[in-house]
Amino acid sequence: MALNKKSGSPTQLYLARRYLVLMLAVVPLFAALGGFVRQQLQLPTWPAPMAEPIPRGRILARDGTVLAEGAASYRRYPQGQLASHLIGFSGAVQPDGRYGLEGLEYTYDQRLQAGEPVVTTLDPTLQAAAERHLRDAIIRHEADNGAVVMIETGTGHVLAAASYPSFDPNMRETRTQAALTNRAFLQQYEPGSVMKPFVVAALLESGRLRPDEVIPAEMALRVGSKTFRDVAQHDSHLAVPDILRYSSNVAMIHLSDRFTPEEQHAWLRHFGFGQEMGLNSIFTRTGQLNHWQHWVPQDKASITIGQSVSTTALQLAAAYSIFANDGLYIPPQLVVGEKLSLPKRALSPETALAVRSMLVYTVEESSLRNSKIPFVSVAGKTGTADIFDQASGRYIDGDYTLGFAGIFPAENPRITMVVYLQKPRNGTMSTLVAAPLFRAIGSEVVAHWGLPLNALTYVGQP
Amino acid sequence: MKMHRKTLSALYIVLLLTLATLGVHNQQQFRLQHSLIQEKDSQHQRLAELRGMAASITSPLAVSQWAASSGMIPATEAGDFEQVTPLTSPEPIPLESGLEVRTVWR
């Protein structure tokens, strides 16, 4: 049946309209889909695979040198080994949500994940000098390990903290257990004679010793089951500065008799030994100072000369900085803006100055000339200590810790520095091993400041 | 009613076409963003690598090691220094009065 072109049957018209409406609705839809297909586009999956790499804040030295940067997935350490023990490193995300695995990367993980930078107090030039000279000294003396800590007077800023063996956080294969240990902050060692100035300072401060006293100093003394001997030959009686100059164990033990064990223990804790460092930015250790009630007679004598007590290089440097800070104990600081306890007065300025003068005398008059830094005065003390082996429970014959702790310039202190090497096969005297290391690093520090005026021979006036 | 249906149909078509256009545009933007993120990521990586390469030459540790291997020593260890410039600036010659006028006849 032919349809009327104008009208057609109502049913057909109705169907035709429906068909038209359907086509108008469906065709554009297919056209749109066809467009997607023709452009070879894909519908986005959900969630969209466009997440940016997880950002991570940078770790900087105080002069802005970049020590760590990059997102968690490609973290880089542009300075390589420099300060690697402090910076640590990060890796894959851990079950607790952290990316940091060691050092500041671990302790400041939350802040770094927020994309905020961490600015350290480190001076890269001084850190480099400390690391290079420490490594050279360890290789030269065939030592097992060592550490250096350098603290700025007045602020407590840690300017350098080197440990050896070391590692490059960019290279996984260098991350051995021995290399990862931050010895400057974590390795507890018996410091030896560098402890002696603290006993002298405590006696002076408590009024139990006058600086001009003369003390008996035989060459050997038996205390309890142990005989203590002096190494350097000296007179039978020594003035207080000469006790430090000759590092007389016997005279020091006589001096310590003026304290009860309880008092001596309290004074050593007063200087920070056996105490938390209060540094929140990184792990530290307290050192070991047994309670006085557990001391046997020879323990008190041993502790006086820096044995049977352990410390870390950081703790010892912080304690020595009391002499540099005119008697104030200023907590060490590694990260700018870190909340620390307030400085406390540990000694009167007079006592601090008196001990500093004795330490200058010790360097100037003894065989410690190896520790003298050209054009600046040094106040310092060596320490040679036997190494206690935890496994066998006894001291190891022939293995020593050779250390030096010092302050410079002595008349206007700017730096307190502690260095030590352990188990050197070549060299057994601190004066020949640790003191030259102190000088080598100290010289670089002074050169970094610029030559002092007293170094210059003035010639010519226009 | 017919007019109403026609208007709705037209609106439906327009909205459908708009949706399709936006979809295509969105896809293009998505791909662009994705490629930019990848580019940014690779540029960051490249920057970190370049900084590492630069540090192998210019970092304090590298400079210190290079100086030592080249036989250099800290200035304080040199032992012999001469100050070749005046320690202080020459004193300026004071004028006799605050204002000085000179006349030169030629």
ipTM for the predicted complex comes to 0.73
Maximum average pLDDT range among A175-179, A229-233, A311-315, B96-100: A311-315
Optimal mutation site among A18, A79, A168, interface B, most CBs of chain B within 10 A? A79
What gap in Å lies between CA B106 and CA B95, rounded to an integer?
Answer: 25
Q: CA-CA distance, A156 to A343, in Å (whole number)?
A: 10
| Dihedral angle of Cα A279, A285, A286, A289, to the nearest 10 degrees | -170
User: Does residue A461 carry a pLDDT above 50?
Assistant: no
Query: For position A193, which CATH number holds?
Result: 3.40.710.10
Buried-state track B28-43, b at ≥16 Cβ within 10 A, e below 16: eebeeeeeeeeeebee
Write the pLDDT tens digit of every residue in A10-41.
888 888 888 887 777 777 677 767 766 665 55
Same domain, A108 and A216: no
Instruction: Please check whether residues A212 and A348 belong to one and the same domain.
Output: yes
pLDDT tens-digit readout, A73-91: 889 999 999 999 999 999 9
For residue A98, give the CATH number of its domain: 3.90.1310.10
A236: exposed, middle or buried (Cβ count in 10 Å: 0-12, 13-18, 19+): exposed
Q: Are residues A132 and A217 in the same domain?
A: yes
Q: Which residue has the tokens 């004598």?
A: A301
**pLDDT tens-digit series, residues A120-172:** 999 999 999 999 999 999 999 999 999 999 999 999 999 999 999 999 999 88
Which residues make beta-bridge pairs with A100?
A90
Contacts with B28 from chain A: Cβ below 8 Å = 41
Question: pLDDT for B37-47, tens place per residue?
Answer: 889 888 988 88
Give the range with max mean pLDDT: A222-231, A263-272, A364-373.
Answer: A263-272
Beta bridge mates, A163: A147
For residue A432 the two structure tokens come to 């020949």
More confidently predicted of A344 and B85 = A344
Q: Which two tokens stand for residue A341?
A: 């306890």
Structure-token pair, residue A235: 């007179």
Tell me what pLDDT residue A42 has. Answer: 57
**Rounded average pLDDT over A325-347:** 94
Residue A74 lies in a domain: yes
Does residue A454 sit within a domain? no
| Interchain proximity A79–B79, CB inside 8 Å | no
Angle A148-A150-A152 (CA atoms, 0-180°, nearest 5)?
175
* Res A270 pLDDT > 50: yes
* Residues A104 and A210 both lie in one domain: no
Name the minimum distance, in Å, from the CA of A115 to any CA of chain B: 15
Question: How far is B97 from A227, CA to CA, in rounded Å?
Answer: 84
As beta bridge partners, residue A214 has A239
Q: How close B67 comes to chain A (CA, Å)?
A: 11
Q: Is residue A270 part of a domain?
A: yes
* pLDDT at res. A455: 66
* DSSP bridge pairs for A326: none
Percent of chain A with pLDDT strictly greater than 70: 90
Alpha-carbon distance B2 to nearest alpha carbon in chain A (angstroms)? 11
Chain B residues touching A82 at Cβ < 8 A: 59-61
Q: Which two tokens stand for residue B5?
A: 């249906």
Same domain (yes/no): A146, A73: no
* Residue A1 pLDDT > 70: no
User: Taking a contact as any Cβ pair under 8 Å apart, which residues of chain B between 65 and 84 contact chain A?
Assistant: 65, 68, 74-77, 79-84
Same structural domain, A151 and A79: no
**H/E stretch holding A431:** helix A430-449
Residue A279 lies in a domain: yes
Weakest mean pLDDT among A122-136, A219-233, A384-398, A411-425: A384-398
Q: Does B29 touch chain A (CB under 8 A)?
A: no
Pairing of strands A100-102, B82-83: unpaired
Higher pLDDT, A192 or B98: A192
* Exposure b/e, A203-222, CB count within 10 A at least 16 = b: bbbeeebeeeeebebeeebe
CB of B56 within 8 Å of a chain A CB? The answer is yes
Q: Is there a contact between B60 and A128 if contact means CB atoms under 8 Å apart?
A: yes
Domain with A250 in it:
124-162+185-448
A14: left (phi over 0), alpha (psi -120 to 50) or beta: alpha
pLDDT tens for B10-23 read: 898 899 899 889 98
Q: Are residues A110 and A209 in the same domain?
A: no
Q: Which residue, among A358, A408, A371, A360, has the nearest Cα to A243 in the 3D structure? A: A358
- Report the relative pairing of strands A100-102 and A379-389 from DSSP bridges: unpaired
Task: Tell me: do A299 and A353 sit in the same domain.
Answer: yes
Question: Residue A351's Cα: distance from chain center in Å?
Answer: 28
- The answer on pLDDT for A448 being more than 80 is yes
Residue A198 lies in a domain: yes
Q: B82 - beta bridge partners?
A: A457
Query: What distance separates the 2 farthest-apart alpha carbons in chain B?
Result: 110
Picking from B13, B45, B81, the nearest residue to A28 by CB comes out as B13
Q: Write down the mean pLDDT value for chain A.
A: 89
- Do residue B27 and residue A44 have CB atoms under 8 angstroms apart? yes
pLDDT of residue A460: 45
- In terms of domains, do A143 and A108 share one? no
Our count of domains for chain A comes to 2
Report the alpha-carbon distance of residue A385 to residue A391 in Å, rounded.
18
- Which residue, A101, A119, A137, sits at the end of a domain? A119
- What is the predicted pLDDT for the residue at B62? 92
Q: Span B64-88, mean pLDDT?
A: 80
- A66 neighbourhood in chain B, CB within 8 Å: 51
A384 touches A400 (CB < 8 A) = yes
Return the structure tokens found at A437.
């290391």
Query: What secondary structure does DSSP assign to A274-311, as a single string?
Result: TS-----SS---------GGG--HHHHHHHHTT-S--B
Residue A430 lies in a domain: yes
**Residues A66 and A206 grouped into a single domain:** no
Q: Considering only the beta carbons, identify the residue of B59, B68, B79 that sits closest to A80.
A: B59
Please list, in sequence order, all residues whose beta carbon lies within 8 angstroms of the beta carbon of residue B88, skipping any fewer than 6 positions away: none
What is the Cα–Cα distance from A188 to A275, expressed in whole angstroms?
13
User: Would residue A313 count as lying in a domain?
Assistant: yes
For residue A202, give both structure tokens.
Answer: 């405590």
Strand A145-152 versus strand A158-164 pairing type: antiparallel
pLDDT band at B56 (very low <50, low <70, confident <90, very high): confident
Residue A107 and residue A228 in one domain: no
Q: Classify residue A260 as exposed, middle or buried by CB count within 10 Å of its CB (0-12, 13-18, 19+).
A: exposed
- Asked whether residue A112 falls in the same domain as residue A67, the answer is yes
Establish if A176 belongs to a structural domain. Answer: no
pLDDT surpasses 90 at A428:
no
